[in-house]
């Protein structure tokens, strides 16, 4: 792996943004699942949240890269992160107004965020060749894979630490 590629500002910013986004997404998936388990006490509902997040990947995963090619490769990751932030913000407002979230609304949330992640990751991979030279692509893709693995390792650990410090927020969930 050629870590010297991280001297290139645009590539470094891309990898940092990917890492931050990935950690946030993985932490949210971890915490939402645990939250459902805590509120419902149902391991089935807990696992159903994890299963529901896999459905978009199973159905659209093979086509995600092709669909991303139809759009501006450099802007799509930014737009996808903005949409994810808006969705989470809307859910925060709904909770603030309603005082609760239904299990169904949580399913919708995790599906929407899974769809965004499904398209975010290939969009990052399509940006890399526009930032790096052809002879740097192998090293760049290696760093991209390394960042993905680090994010997948760090996110649950960080979520667990934050959970042990702050606990789960006491949010009422109306389970249908």
CA distance 42 to 135: 52
CA distance 124 to 14: 8
User: Is the entire prediction scored with pTM above 0.85?
Assistant: no
pLDDT category at 86 given cuts 50, 70, 90 is very high
159 with 27: CB under 8 angstroms? yes
How big, in percent rounded to 5, are the helix, strand and coil portions of the chain?
Answer: 85, 5, 10
pLDDT category at 173 given cuts 50, 70, 90 is very low
pLDDT category at 169 given cuts 50, 70, 90 is low
CA distance 152 to 156: 7
Distances (CA, A) of 105 to 29, 33, 41, 130: 15, 14, 18, 38
Residue 172, pLDDT score: 38
Residues 10-52: tens digit of each pLDDT: 889 988 988 998 898 888 888 778 878 877 888 898 888 888 8
pLDDT at 174 over 60: no
Q: Which residue has the tokens 């891309």?
A: 14
Written as six digits, the tokens of 6 are 């991280």
Residues 128-138: tens digit of each pLDDT: 888 888 888 88
Residue 175, pLDDT score: 41
């Amino acid at each position: 792996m050629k870590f010297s590629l991280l001297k290139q500002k645009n590539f470094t910013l891309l990898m940092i943004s990917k890492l931050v986004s990935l950690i946030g997404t993985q932490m949210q998936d971890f915490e939402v699942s645990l939250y459902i388990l805590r509120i419902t006490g149902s391991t089935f509902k807990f696992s159903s949240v994890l299963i529901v997040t896999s459905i978009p990947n199973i159905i659209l995963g093979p086509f995600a890269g092709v669909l991303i090619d139809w759009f501006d490769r450099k802007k799509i990751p930014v737009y996808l992160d903005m949409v994810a932030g808006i969705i989470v913000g809307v859910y925060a407002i709904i909770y603030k107004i309603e005082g609760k979230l239904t299990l169904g609304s949580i399913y919708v949330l995790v599906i929407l965020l899974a769809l965004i992640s499904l398209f975010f990751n290939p969009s990052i991979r399509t940006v890399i060749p526009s930032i790096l030279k052809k002879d740097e692509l192998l090293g760049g893709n290696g760093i991209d894979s390394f960042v993905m693995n680090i994010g997948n390792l760090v996110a649950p650990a960080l979520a667990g630490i934050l959970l042990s410090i702050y606990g789960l927020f006491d949010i009422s969930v109306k389970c249908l």
